[in-house]
Amino acid sequence: MKMRLARFTTAPSVSAWRIARAGNRAESKIKIFVRYVLNLYREKEMRFSGLSVRQLEAFEATMVAGSVSGAAAALNISQPSVSRLLQELEIDTGLSLFDRSHGRLVPTEQGLLFYGEVGKTFHGARNLIMAAQEIRELKRGVVRIGTLAALSFHIVPEAIRQLRTRFPEARTTIAVRSSTEIVASVASRLTDVGVVDAGVSFLDTRCVATFGRNSVCVMDETHPLAGRERIRLEDFKLYPFVSLGELYF
């Protein structure tokens, strides 16, 4: 099937299609995000008003293990190192996280409250570090594609093949929908890029490319329209016909 990139022009025998994409520049925003995260958390020395990741790891490990020795074993560091990190954490936060009066560490009320916040915030921040690395290497990148059924057998697979050739770790998902559903999904950021019919409303999306493809109709050789070189949609008014359906257009 011969395809070409072109601006849409109305032609009787050509169905025009457009590629709709969300108005934001996703690639640029990802680069900005990665640069921001990598600079902020460079070499895993993320800081929260002076707090280091290592301090928070030592605190979390101690809370889970119930002892400094258990935390040291979990982190594969010495017990004195864990004790030092906990002391530095208390100094930096200004909190009394443990009661040491009976020869063992017992979490204080402040320690328990802080542990709850660590669970919500620290884990998310630590995941950002890993996500930034994966995004930079395009291991985590998932391109979500919405397409019409008519284009899901050649155009979209070819685009995916070229993507995987350049970025073997990249992943894609494909959803076959109607043009209206695809545009709505792109506008709501549930889909990254969609291939739709040119006649659909583009809402809050941006058309980044336009191309045409030949459409055909199949009929008996004795049909009144069979001898025509070009058939317009208006020509079907006088005859019953079967359409491919909304998912194809």
Q: Hey, is 46 helix, strand or coil?
A: coil
Does residue 9 lie in a domain region?
Answer: yes
- Evaluate whether 194 touches 21 at the Cβ level (below 8 Å): yes
Q: What is the pLDDT of residues 41-71, one digit of tens each?
A: 343 334 444 667 888 889 989 998 889 999 9
Residues 166 and 201 in one domain: yes
Q: What is the pLDDT of residues 196-213, one digit of tens each?
A: 887 777 777 888 777 776
Which CATH number belongs to the domain containing residue 83 in this structure?
1.10.10.10
pTM: 0.40
User: Alpha-carbon distance 29 to 9, whole Å?
Assistant: 33
Does residue 185 lie in a domain region?
Answer: yes
Q: Distances from the Cα of 173 to the Cαs of 65, 146, 160, 193, 206, in angstroms?
A: 41, 8, 10, 11, 21
Does residue 29 lie in a domain region?
Answer: no
Residues 127 and 144 in one domain: no
User: How many structural domains are present in the chain?
Assistant: 2
Residues 210 and 122 in one domain: no
Which CATH number belongs to the domain containing residue 219 in this structure?
3.40.190
**Sequential DSSP letters for 77-99:** S-HHHHHHHHHHHHHHHT---EE
Domain boundary among 90, 116, 136: 136
**Domain with 116 in it:** 34-136
User: Alpha-carbon distance 105 to 77, whole Å?
Assistant: 18
3-state helix, strand, coil in the chain (%, to 5): 45, 20, 35
Residues 92 and 120 in one domain: yes
Q: What is the pLDDT of residues 153-191, one digit of tens each?
A: 777 888 888 888 887 777 888 888 888 888 888 888 888
Residues 8 and 43 in one domain: no
